[in-house]
Amino acid sequence: MFGDLFGKLQEAQSKMKESKERLSHITVDGEAGDGAVKVVVTGNREVKSIDVAEHLLEKDNKEELEDLLITALNRALKNAENAWESEMKGIAGGMLGPLGGLL
């Protein structure tokens, strides 16, 4: 009984490691200000790039730039969270058999 449980635990750990590796290669983006600020993050929620339109780099646009950065980052991180949740549901479904569809 415990051997089977231990085996399932090791299998789950292995699948989690594989999922984190896959998520590190998935990128999602978020943007704000009609594309004036674009952020790309991995499925593991690591920021890979930030692109800012030239006009936002002027001194008078500091506050607008800050607001747009926050919005774009939050959108990208939400998209990454959705990718992460989808990946984890796949693992849970595989581990729980027919019950996995209930998650």
Instruction: Give pLDDT tens digits for 14-69.
Output: 888 888 888 899 999 999 999 999 999 999 999 999 999 999 999 999 999 999 99
CA distance 22 to 96: 21
16, two tokens: 């989690």
79-to-27, 49, 68 alpha-carbon distances in Å? 9, 15, 17
Mean pLDDT, rounded, for 77-101: 75
pTM comes to: 0.73
